[in-house]
Amino acid sequence: MAGSHEVDTLTKAFSGFGVDEKTLISILGKWHPDQTKTFRKGTQFFIQDERLFERWVDKHVEQLKREFLRFKGAVVLWTMHPWERDARLIKDALIDGPKSYNVVVEIGCTRSSEELLGARRAYHSLYDRSIEEDVASSVTGVERKLFVALVSSYRYEGPKVNEETAKSEAKTLCNAVKNAAKKNPMEEEEVVRILSTRSKLHLKSVFKHYKEMCGKDIEEDVAPHLSLKHTVQCLSTPQTYFVKVLDEAINPDADENTKEGLTRVIVTRADVDMKAIKEEYHKQNGITLIEKIEHMANGNFKDFLLTLLARGE
């Protein structure tokens, strides 16, 4: 018979993010048929139907397929050229629909001008279409104008900021947010222009003046408009946005699209701003991101994520 310790160990190896391949090999490779039968009877992965036939629960089969592929997906994503990676991430987000639109905002706002231009070039090569036209044809809600503008952007990245202009644009944003009950701020041409064309340094000044004028952080005021909130976060405090993505991805009840955020953030930010993300994660959660990954991930997938998180330390 399979020992209860082995059954518990194997159940844990099948659970969480990724699978513990070494444990599967060391235990399953030695078991006799009776031991495997004991495992089937002792876990939630199998059911016995009206014919007393023991079989996998369908949802667990699909879940395990995804978990076995998680390591492969992370490695494939990591080895891609960053431009191809971003192009494919945007394409997948548009196919997934509104639940993944934050990925479009994320890439449009957290990449440098050259990186975003590179992603647009890669998109041409991969799909014989432009990101702009696919965003425009796929997004049908109030976000369309903003999204098209964000992925089309080529922002100035120098140090110059015109404070008077920043004050004026802060007032424009303030008025648009106050008028949100009558017209969604994402439908306001000036809001779209400011958020999609101004440098990130300039926007930090705009948001500072906004708080002085309106009494609240703009992020708090635009919270009811999720895509607008993501835009503001990605432009001003991207580490806060990425920590939120990680928190939602690690939630055991998250759907698969949300869970993919764990791989996406660690792979795409490992060589960019992961240090700031890890610091913000620790600040918000009282535990390090490395400790969290060690606790909730399994096998090669866990080892690969930890390797990426250790880069630059």
Question: pLDDT (tens digit, 9 = 90+) per residue, 250-277?
Answer: 998 999 999 999 999 999 999 999 999 9
Tokens of 282: 């620790």
Average pLDDT over residues 102-130: 98
Average pLDDT over residues 148-170: 98
Please, which residues bridge with residue 48 across strands?
54
**Is the pLDDT assigned to residue 305 strictly greater than 80?**
yes
Question: What pLDDT is attached to residue 127?
Answer: 98
φ/ψ (deg, to 5) at 54: -85, 125
Question: What pLDDT is attached to residue 1?
Answer: 46
204 closest CA partner among 181, 228, 232, 185 = 232
Average pLDDT over residues 186-193: 98
**Is the pLDDT assigned to residue 149 strictly greater than 50?**
yes
123 closest CA partner among 82, 156, 183 = 82
Compute CA distances 264 → 21, 63, 246, 255, 292, whole Å: 22, 19, 9, 15, 16
**Is the pLDDT assigned to residue 2 strictly greater than 60?**
no
Question: pLDDT (tens digit, 9 = 90+) per residue, 221-238?
Answer: 999 999 999 999 999 999
57 closest CA partner among 49, 128, 13, 180 = 49
**How many CA atoms lie within 13 Å of 278's alpha carbon, on the beta-carbon side?**
22
**Is the pLDDT assigned to residue 129 strictly greater than 80?**
yes
**Is the pLDDT assigned to residue 91 strictly greater than 50?**
yes
Question: What pLDDT is attached to residue 169?
Answer: 98
**What pTM was estimated for this model as a whole?**
0.93
Tokens of 161: 């900021």
How would residue 3 be classed by pLDDT, with cut points 50, 70 and 90? Answer: low
Name, in order, each residue with C-beta under 8 angstroms of 36's C-beta and a sequence gap of 6 or more: 2, 28
Helix (H, G, I), strand (E, B) or coil at 220: helix
Query: What percent of the chain clears pLDDT 90, i.e. is strictly above it?
Result: 81
41 closest CA partner among 5, 7, 6, 9 = 7
Question: What pLDDT is attached to residue 147?
Answer: 98
Query: What percent of the chain clears pLDDT 70, i.e. is strictly above it?
Result: 98
Average pLDDT over residues 142-154: 98
Domains recognised in the chain with CATH numbers: 82-154 (1.10.220.10), 160-234 (1.10.220.10), 240-309 (1.10.220.10)
Please, which residues bridge with residue 297 across strands?
17
Ranking 53-67, 85-99, 163-177, 194-208 by mean pLDDT, the lowest is 53-67
Neighbours of 178 (CB within 10 A): 12
Compute CA distances 96 → 34, 101, 242, 256, whole Å: 43, 8, 20, 11
**Cβ neighbourhood burial of 162 (10 Å; 0-12, 13-18, 19+):** exposed
Average pLDDT, the chain: 94
**Is the pLDDT assigned to residue 146 strictly greater than 60?**
yes
How would residue 7 be classed by pLDDT, with cut points 50, 70 and 90? Answer: confident
